[in-house]
Amino acid sequence: MEEKLLQAALAAREKAYAPYSHFQVGAAVLVGDGKLYTGCNVENASYGLTCCAERNAIFNAVGAGNHQLEALCVVGDTAEPISPCGACRQVMAEFKIPVIYLANVQGRVKKLTLAELLPYSFTLEE
Ligand code: THU
């Protein structure tokens, strides 16, 4: 499943809209019934409105009616596996995604838990 997620994230990355940073990112989310939802970064002339690939993938999955998200893979052209921004980590925490694969386009993958990525997070229970 790790390979399927990575391939889906790589394919999503090709769709990135990044005319300002020229930094393309793709993400894929695996949901309970085995389906995959993807997203890419979408930038804006008003830079702050940019939305990262991870959040777009999560919102696609949730918008299709899924609340149980099993795993997420994010990929970028970085020397080491890409590191998600804080906002995306907080959105991953909202849906308690247990397994997160960080990858680069060379296929280097780092597997982390949500607690490793965002310890002591603010959640629904609070
Ligand atoms: N970006 C992502 O989509 N995900 C990340 O994990 C890091 C950053 C995007 C946002 C922006 O479009 C570009 O990469 C440069 O920051």
Q: Which pLDDT belongs to residue 94? A: 97
Share of the chain above pLDDT 90, in %: 95
Q: Average pLDDT of the chain?
A: 97
**Under 8 Å between Cβ of 50 and 104:** no
Q: What is the pLDDT of residues 26-76, one digit of tens each?
A: 999 999 999 999 999 999 999 999 999 999 999 999 999 999 999 999 999
Q: Which pLDDT belongs to residue 66? A: 98
Nearest CA to ligand 1 atom 7: 84
What's the pTM?
0.97
Question: Known catalytic residue: 80?
Answer: no
pLDDT at 5 over 90: yes
Nearest CA to ligand 1 atom 8: 52
Q: Rounded to whole angstroms, what are the CA distances from 70 to 53, 81, 98, 114, 118?
A: 17, 20, 6, 11, 17
Contacts of residue 97, defined as CB under 8 A and 6 or more positions apart, other chains included, come to 29, 58, 69, 70, 71, 72, 114
**Under 8 Å between Cβ of 12 and 24:** no
Region 13-29: mean pLDDT is: 98
State the catalytic residue, choosing from 54, 80, 94, 125: 54
